[in-house]
């Protein structure tokens, strides 16, 4: 299984990815998680990336592409992967196609988790994230149900940054829906329902 997850920030891509990873053992490659780890570790890339992330803008393509290539070369990704948060624009999608071609690997599907924008805004403003494992839950959950880590509000989930992220999504990432539709691999699920119902549709849509 080699898939790309599409959908606005807060649509539930990470949650659906975690379900697929738990059931099928594929690698979850989240560029947001990789970038946040680099920021936390204070690497050169992390320091550079943080300027864009805290403004709700996309990090320059080459930085992200290098991170993804490095991650995809790891042993666990050879069984299959779920790309979450990548590609984020057409240039990244074209680079991914070229890299996968060179590796002789095929994308099985681009899975769009579709959620109306008004619901997204509410979800993001009340979202809390585990500092340790990245698990997300609504405000009020202080201890991570997955690993016991501390839940916090991401800086870019604060109201002033949410609108920038959604604008960036509409301008740069939404065109990928047509891109993958034209490639004949787009699968859309209604993400505005309980996690288990969305997951049942994800599996159906992916033929699992």
Q: Which residues bind ligand AMP (CB under 6 A)?
A: 9, 31-32, 35, 52-53, 56-59, 64, 85-86, 88, 92, 156, 165
By beta-carbon proximity to ligand AMP, the closer residue of 175 and 208 is 175
Q: How far is the CB of 178 from ligand AMP (least distance, A)?
A: 18
Structure tokens at 157: 């989930």
71 noted as active-site residue: no
CB 22 within 8 A of CB 131: no
Q: How far is the CB of 92 from ligand AMP (least distance, A)?
A: 6
Secondary structure of the chain: what % helix, strand, coil (to 5)?
A: 55, 15, 30
88 noted as active-site residue: yes
Residue 198 CA neighbour count, 13 Å, CB half: 23
By beta-carbon proximity to ligand AMP, the closer residue of 64 and 187 is 64
Q: Which residues of 77-100 are buried (b: 16+ CB within 10 A; e: fewer)?
A: beebbbbbbbbbbeebbebbeeee
Q: How far is the CB of 89 from ligand AMP (least distance, A)?
A: 7
By beta-carbon proximity to ligand AMP, the closer residue of 45 and 189 is 45
How far, in whole angstroms, is CA 88 from its chain's centroid? Answer: 9
Structure tokens at 5: 């997850």
165 noted as active-site residue: yes
Name the active-site residue from 36, 71, 88, 128. Answer: 88
Could you count the other beta carbons within 10 Å of the beta carbon of residue 64?
24
Name the active-site residue from 165, 181, 193, 203. Answer: 165
- The residue of the chain with the least Cβ separation from ligand AMP equals 32
127 noted as active-site residue: yes
Active site positions, annotated: 13, 88, 127, 154, 165
């Amino acid at each position: 299984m080699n898939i790309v997850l599409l959908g606005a920030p807060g649509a539930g891509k990470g949650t659906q990815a975690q379900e697929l990873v738990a059931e099928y053992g594929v690698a979850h490659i989240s560029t947001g998680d990789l970038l946040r780890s680099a920021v936390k570790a204070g690497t050169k890339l992390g320091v550079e990336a943080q300027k864009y992330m805290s403004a709700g803008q996309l990090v320059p393509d080459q930085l992200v592409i290098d991170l993804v290539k490095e991650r995809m070369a790891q042993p666990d990704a050879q069984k299959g992967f779920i790309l979450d948060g990548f590609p984020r624009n057409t240039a990244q999608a074209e680079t991914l196609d070229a890299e996968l071609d060179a590796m002789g690997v095929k994308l099985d599907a681009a899975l769009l988790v579709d959620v109306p924008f008004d619901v997204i805004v509410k979800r993001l403003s009340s979202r809390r994230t585990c500092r340790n494992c990245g698990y997300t839950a609504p405000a009020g959950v202080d201890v991570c149900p997955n690993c016991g880590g501390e839940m916090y509000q991401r800086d870019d989930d604060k109201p002033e940054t949410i609108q920038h992220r959604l604008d960036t999504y509409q301008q740069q990432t939404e065109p990928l829906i047509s891109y993958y539709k034209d490639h004949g691999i787009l699968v859309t699920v209604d993400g505005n329902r309980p996690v288990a119902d969305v997951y049942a549709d994800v599996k159906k849509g992916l033929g699992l």
